[in-house]
Amino acid sequence: MIQNDTWIKKMASQGMIVPFESNLIRRVEELPVISFGLSSFGYDIRLSPKEFRVFRHIPGTVVDPKNFNPDNLEPVQLHTDENGSFFILPAHSYGLGVALEKLKVPDDITILCIGKSSYARVGLIANLTPAEAGWRGYLTLEFSNSSSADCRIYANEGVVQLLFLKGEPCEVSYSSRQGKYQDQGEEVTLARV
């Protein structure tokens, strides 16, 4: 069953989401922002301004998730103007960012991350990824720019929505099996095997 705002707020008070915003924020200091915070049946997390990386082609190489070459990712500069701080994801490219909020997932919950409509409508696709029961850390977020134009991704603003799916407690949680992405810091985490 999907969890509602009352449940999310209660669990956030126990450290599930830090920092936590108990309302859906659409303006910060009179500046319109892509919404973040608590919604009816989810929580919109923000993109951290600390790091964003874009895949680049290196002739003669193939990206291999079993033997990932960090040279295939290049850092992207954070820009700021009157609309806020943002990274630019070039047309038809793929990038990795990191969430501003730290998560601590209960053992009877799995979280799905889905894209926000404001970005979907400009061709930016957020990969649907899970945060499994017992997982802790800052999510690495994956984005594809499917449009033929460069796209801004705003830091400190909403970037994906989390949906909290409750089930019976699992026998083996991500924490108890010592998952390879446990306790990620607020930085892009590369593919691991």
Look at residue 4 and tell me whether its pLDDT is greater than 90.
yes
Q: What is the pLDDT of residue 37?
A: 98
% of the chain at pLDDT higher than 70? 100
Look at residue 8 and tell me whether its pLDDT is greater than 90.
yes
**Average per-residue pLDDT in the chain?**
94
Q: pLDDT tens digits for 76-130?
A: 999 999 999 999 999 999 999 999 999 999 999 999 999 999 999 999 999 978 9
CA distance 124 to 134: 29
CA distance 124 to 143: 7
Query: Any idea where the domains of the chain sit in the sequence?
Result: 5-166
Average pLDDT rounded to a whole number, residues 131-150: 96
Q: What is the pLDDT of residue 182?
A: 85
Q: Can you tell me which residue has the tokens 């108890």?
A: 176
Encoded tokens for 62: 């193939």
Distant-in-sequence, close-in-space partners of 38: CB < 8 Å, separation ≥ 6: 5, 8, 9, 12, 20, 21, 22, 23, 24
Q: Which residues are catalytic?
A: 142
Which CATH entry fits the domain spanning 5-166: 3.40.50.300, 3.40.50.970, 2.70.40.10, 3.20.20.140? 2.70.40.10
Q: Can you tell me which residue has the tokens 């919604």?
A: 39
Q: pLDDT tens digits for 28-49?
A: 999 999 999 999 999 999 999 9
In this structure, the strands spanning 109-115 and 31-39 are: unpaired
pTM over 0.85: yes
Q: Which residues pair with 86 in a beta bridge?
A: 79, 154
Q: Which residues pair with 70 in a beta bridge?
A: none
Residue 99, CA atoms < 13 Å, CB-side half-sphere: 27
